[in-house]
Amino acid sequence: MIEVEGLTKRYGEKMAVNQLTFAVRPGIVTGFLGPNGAGKSTTMRMMLGLDRPTAGDVRIDGQHYDRLKDPLTYIGALLDAKAMHGGRSAFNHLLCLAQSNGIPRGRVHEVLDTVGLTAVAKKKAKGFSLGMGQRLGIAGALLGDPRILMFDEPVNGLDPEGIHWIRNLMKSLAAQGRTVFVSSHLMSEMALTADHLVVIGQGRLLADTSMADFIRENSRSYVRIRSPQRELLLDVLHRAGIVVVETGGGTLEVDGHRPEDIGELAAQHRIVLHELSPQQASLEEAFMQLTAESVEYHAHSGAPLGAAPPPLPGDRPGPPTPGPQVPGPQWGDDWKKG
Amino acid sequence: MSTPQPQTHQQAAPAPNWQSAPGTSYTSPIPVTRTHLGHALTSEWTKIKSVRSTMWTLGVFLLLVVGIGLLVAAQTNDNDYADVPYTIPAFFGLILGQICLITLGVLVVSSEYGTGMIRTTFTASPQRHRVLTAKLLIFFVVAFVVSALAIGFVGLVTSGMHGGASDNEWGGTVLKGALYVSLLGVLALAVGSMLRHSAGAITAMLGLVLVPAILPAFLMMSESLRTVGDKMMDYNAPNALAKIFEIDSENGGGTSQLVLLIGVTAAAIAGAYVLLERRDV
Ligand SMILES: Nc1ncnc2c1ncn2[C@@H]1O[C@H](COP(=O)(O)OP(=O)(O)O)[C@@H](O)[C@H]1O
Ligand SMILES: [Mg+2]
């Protein structure tokens, strides 16, 4: 169990983490989601006592990290696959870690075996591919057979086989009753592995919810309509009290109505439709919407959170809508960076 | 190199509690040990001996001290040793060799910052002061033993080559000489821990060793700076070694230079501990 309370980190003027409060429970995979620059790595470094919080507190089973007498048997962490001396062999890298915590040497062989690096145990880490470095980092995290595991963007840059392996590993670790805390900037990745979601944007907590709830609440369904008599259709829908969002390329979107109802309404007014299709917004879009709202809230503070959903940025054809745009910095600024 | 296939291990790995229901906490079968300085010392010992750069710098150090020392011993006559200890040939190698120990001292800590290893280290040992203590102790012992062996070996061979030529007691010069160069290395380690940057820390240390040896020549030109120049001349590192090896037999064999270095090193170590606890990694 990891408890984070009012955690705040300021780098000069930059608020990297802002008043975060959440708990990571054992026995499940908790996903830590946020666009690049949201403050995930900073939060994890503070959890491990590497960065000093500006304010707030982190407790591991009720204790501060630097009070732990046997840290590696409590927490295993993979922050950065490159966090090792390239000139040291895989075996010696793990051996010096094991010795620092009084873990028997035999355990080094065990974890090398678990991650499949036994054959290259005597090889220097600098010759390793990204995937092998990642495996060595995970071996280090597993050394103390810890009850809590923390991974920062573990699948970044891995090939599909490596990604598959890490997903299964995380699930099996959680199934053994361990606390697994894993960060990602990809909703699709979290949807596959996480049971619980902690979403942050701009250092703030945006959601702390079970994966199932998040999917239920956020998979917005809408109807997409195209018509050559667009003005007339807009008029008709408006008079029927149906809210329409105009998107690029003359396409209209309607929330909360069945396609049947809209089709019949169009037929009554003899309007020709070229498209009438039910759509499901992806979780990725839901996540983008969530983080975009955080930016909007941030830009003119005082506005109610999520008052009017901003237009969904997505892979729609045609030019972007000149509709209600989000002012100030865009969620995408952080997203594209790094 | 192809990535090894771990799938087979993956299926074998799950322990008996594989089946346990989510929500229950995991307990490891590995016995829990309370960590202490002894663990940190073993770990740092493994670290220092498992990278090739350590072996290289120590190898070059030995080559310089022993190689130059034996060359000098071979080129000198018995009457050159009338007033000086048998270890004096080691002095010439040490002037260069001290740079190796400075480099190694810096690398012991700054290479961890350079590679990112330091985060792994402090995750495994969140008691940062314990890690620094272990590094200082292990490095000091390694540097002291290696330099004492090198100086002692040169002294022994020289006394064999020029038997009976000198009646200066030379055992003390082995210990003092080894202490002086190892302390320079320890100072470099503390500076490396504060600066966290290999090139920066090595440059700073070379400046500390060389500038006071060169600057007095210029300071002497000015009347007002003459006393500063005199002190620098007296206390710079090469001159301190010269005094320890009794090249200039006045003024108590470099004891006051050694005391100054101990003081500076202690201050740097104190600074390193304070900064270590305060800063983010
Ligand atoms: N050491 C640092 N000094 C200054 N700014 C930092 C530092 N570390 C992170 N930041 C800033 O804090 C923000 C959060 O970064 P980070 O925690 O790395 O985000 P994430 O891991 O979610 O991508 C970013 O804007 C980043 O530029
Ligand atoms: Mg990050």
Q: Read off the pLDDT of residues B171-183 as tens digits, 9 standing for 90 and up.
A: 899 999 999 999 9
Given an 8 Å threshold on Cβ–Cβ distance, is B23 in contact with A147?
no
> Does B33 score more than 60 pLDDT?
yes
Which ligand has an atom closest to residue A39 CA? 1
The pLDDT value given to residue A255:
86
**Residues A121/A164, Cβ–Cβ less than 8 Å:** no
Asked if residue A321 is part of any domain, the answer here is: no
Residues A151 and A263 reside in one and the same domain: no
Instruction: State how far residue A188 is from chain B, nearest Cα, in angstroms.
Output: 23
* Phi, then psi, of A326 in degrees rounded to 5: -75, 125
Q: What's the pLDDT at B3?
A: 45
Atom of ligand 1 nearest to the CA of A36: 23
Closest alpha carbon within chain A to B34: A69
CB-CB under 8 Å, B116 with A83: yes
Please report the pLDDT score of residue B252 as a whole number. 63
pLDDT confidence of residue B173: 92
DSSP, res B250: -
pLDDT of B24: 57
A45 interfacial to chain B (CB closer than 8 Å): yes
> Rg of chain A over CA atoms, in angstroms?
24
Q: Which pair of tokens denotes residue B164? A: 């009976």
| pLDDT > 70 in chain A, percent | 86
Q: Is B117 exposed, middle or buried (0-12, 13-18, 19+ CB in 10 A)?
A: buried
Is the domain of A178 the same as that of A210?
yes
pLDDT digits 0-9 by tens, B256-273: 999 999 999 999 999 999
Look up residue B18 and give its DSSP letter.
Answer: G
Reduced to 3 states, what is the DSSP secondary structure of residue B280?
A: coil
Q: Are residues A162 and A67 in the same domain?
A: yes
Q: Is the pLDDT of residue B43 over 70?
A: yes
Contact A107, A135 (CB under 8 A): no
What is the Å distance from ligand 1's center to A26 Cα?
Answer: 27
Per-residue three-class SS string for B62-110: HHHHHHHHHHHHHHCCHHHHCCCCCCHHHHHHHHHHHHHHHHHHHHHHH
| Residues A271-279, mean pLDDT to the nearest whole number | 92
Q: Which residues of A touch B32 (CB under 8 A)?
A: 69-70, 73
Per-residue pLDDT tens for B77-88? 888 888 889 999
Q: What percent of chain A has pLDDT over 90?
A: 63
Mean pLDDT lowest for which of A50-54, A67-71, A179-183? A67-71
Strand partners, B51: none
From the list A220, A251, A235, A240, the residue with the least C-alpha distance to A320 is A251
The tally of CA atoms less than 13 A away on the side-chain side of residue B226 is 4
Give the closest-approach CA distance of B157 to chain A in angstroms: 36
Is residue A311, in this structure, part of any structural domain at all?
no
Least confident of A214-223, A292-301, A307-316: A307-316
Residue A230 belongs to a domain? yes
Q: Report d(CA A39, CA A338) in Å as an integer.
A: 12
- Asked whether residue B222 carries a pLDDT value surpassing 70, the answer given is yes
Closest CA to A82 of A130, A138, A40: A130
* Residues in CB range of A49: below 8 A, 6 or more apart: A64, A65, A66, B122, B126
Q: What's the CA-to-centroid distance between A265 and ligand 1, angstroms?
A: 52
Residue from the list A27, A82, A128 with its beta carbon closest to the beta carbon of B23 = A27
Is residue A323 in some structural domain?
no
The percentage of chain B sitting over the pLDDT mark of 90, rounded to a whole number, equals 67
Give residue A295's pLDDT band: very low, low, confident or very high (50, 70, 90).
low
For A222, residues 6+ apart whose C-beta sits below 8 A from its C-beta are A253, A254, A255, A256, A278, A279, A281
Domain residues for the domain of A258 are 221-280
Distance A39 CA to ligand 2 centre (A): 7
Concatenating the DSSP letter of every residue in B106-175 gives HHHHHHHHHHSHHHHHHHH---HHHHHHHHHHHHHHHHHHHHHHHHHHHHHHHHHHTTTS--S--HHHHH
Query: Which residue puts its alpha carbon closest to atom 2 of ligand 1?
Result: A11
Residue A50 scores a pLDDT above 80: yes
Interchain CB distance below 8 Å, A176 and B15: yes
Across the interface, which of A80, A88, A131 has its CB nearest the CB of B3? Answer: A131
**pLDDT for A210 beyond 60:** yes
Amino acid identity, residue B1?
M
Cα–Cα nearest to B127, from A42, A64, A8: A64
Q: A233, A264, A280: which is the final residue of a domain?
A: A280
Do residue A83 and residue A130 come from a single domain? yes
Å from CA of A16 to ligand 2 middle: 11
CB–CB of B193/B276 below 8 Å?
A: yes
The verdict on A26 touching B (C-beta cutoff 8 Å) is yes
A144 with A64, same domain: the answer is: yes
Q: What local confidence, expressed as pLDDT, does residue B253 receive?
A: 81
- For residue B13, pLDDT over 80 is answered with no
- Parallel, antiparallel, or unpaired: how do β-strands A29-33 and A196-201 relate? parallel
Examine the pLDDT at B16 and tell me if it is beyond 90: no
Same domain, A210 and A232: no
State whether A272 and A161 are in the same domain: no
pLDDT beyond 70 at A329? no
Chain B nearest-CA distance from A137, in A, is 9
B56: which chain A residues are within 8 Å (Cβ-Cβ)? Answer: none
A184 C-alpha vs ligand 2 centroid, how far in Å?
A: 8
Are A141 and A240 in a shared domain?
A: no
B-chain residues near A77 (CB < 8 A): 123
Counting the structural domains of chain A, the total is 2
Residue A256's CATH number:
3.30.70.1510
Distance CA A93, CA B117 (A): 10
Specify whether the CB–CB gap between B139 and B186 falls below 8 A: yes
Which of residues A217, A232, A267 is at a domain's end? A217
| More confident site: B10 or A223 | A223
Whether residue A199 is found in the same domain as residue A225:
no
* B46: chain A residues, CB-CB within 8 Å: 92, 95-96, 99
The ligand 1 atom nearest the CA atom of A45? 17
pLDDT band, very low/low/confident/very high, at B249 (cuts 50, 70, 90) = low
Identify whether A17 is part of a domain. Answer: yes
CATH number for position A153: 3.40.50.300
Residue A336 lies in a domain: no
- Flag if B10 and A162 touch (Cβ within 8 Å): no
Position in ligand 1 atom list of the atom nearest CA A39: 17
Q: Is A231 on the interface with B (CB under 8 A)?
A: no
Would residue A154 count as lying in a domain?
yes
Whose Cα sits closest to atom 14 in ligand 1?
Answer: A39
pLDDT surpasses 70 at A288:
yes
Q: Mean per-residue pLDDT for A226-247?
A: 91
Point out the residue among A92, A168, A169 whose CB comes nearest to the CB of B46. A92
pLDDT at B99 over 70: yes
Q: How big is chain B by its Cα radius of gyration, in Å?
A: 24
Q: Between residues A216 and A125, which one has the greater pLDDT?
A: A125
B48 pLDDT above the threshold of 90 = yes
Residue in A230, A226, A207, A231 with CA at minimum distance from that of residue A217: A207
Average pLDDT, chain B: 88
Q: Are residues A192 and A228 in the same domain?
A: no
Residue in A183, A212, A184 with CA at minimum distance from that of residue A196: A212
Mean pLDDT of A80-102: 94
Over 70: is that where the pLDDT of A331 sits?
A: no
Residues A143 and A248 in one domain: no
A131–chain B Cβ distance below 8 A for any pair: yes
**Is there a domain that residue A82 lies in?**
yes
Quote the pLDDT of residue B164: 80
- Whether chain B has a CB inside 8 Å of the CB on A165: the answer is yes
Q: Of B209, B208, B185, give the one whose Cα is nearest residue B109.
A: B185
CB B61 within 8 A of CB B101: yes
**Residue A192 predicted with pLDDT over 80:** yes
| Strand A2-11 to A14-24 pairing | antiparallel
Tell me the pairing of strands A221-226 and A275-280. antiparallel
Substitution target in A85, A150, A155 with the highest count of B β-carbons within 10 Å is A85
The residues, any chain, with a CB within 8 Å of residue A17's CB and separated by 6 or more, are A7, A8, A9, A39, A42, A43, A46, A53, A203
Q: Domain locations in chain B?
A: 37-278
Segment A113-132 shows an average pLDDT of 94
* A72 and chain B in contact, CB less than 8 A: yes
3-class DSSP string for chain A = CEEEEEEEEEECCEEEEEEEEEEECCCCEEEEECCCCCCHHHHHHHHCCCCCCCEEEEEECCECHHHCCCHHHHEEEECCCCCCCCCCEHHHHHHHHHHHCCCCCHHHHHHHHHHCCHHHCCCEHHHCCHHHHHHHHHHHHHCCCCCEEEEECCCCCCCHHHHHHHHHHHHHHHHCCCEEEEEECCHHHHHHHCCEEEEEECCEEEEEEEHHHHHHHHCCEEEEEECCCHHHHHHHHHHCCCCEEEEHHHEEEEECCCHHHHHHHHHHCCCCCCEEEEEECCHHHHHHHHHHHHHHHHHCCCCCCCCCCCCCCCCCCCCCCCCCCCCCCCHHHHHHCC
Strand pairing category for A251-255 and A244-247 = antiparallel
CA distance A192 to chain B (A): 17
pLDDT at A293: 65
A129-157 mean pLDDT: 93
pLDDT of residue B1: 43
A97 interfaces chain B, CB cutoff of 8 Å = yes
Pocket test for ligand 1, best of A7, A20, A42, A45 (most atoms within 8 A of CB): A42
Contacts of A232 (CB under 8 A, 6+ apart): A269, A271
Going by C-beta distance under 8 Å and a sequence separation of 6 or more, which residues neighbour residue A295?
A201, A202, A326, A328, A329, A330, A331
Q: Are residues A232 and A110 in the same domain?
A: no
Question: Closest partner residue to B30 among A97, A145, A174, by Cβ?
Answer: A145
Residues with CB under 6 A from ligand 1: A 11, 14, 16, 34, 36-42
Highest mean pLDDT, choosing among A95-99, B159-163, B213-217: A95-99
Residue A294 pLDDT: 63
pTM (two decimals):
0.82
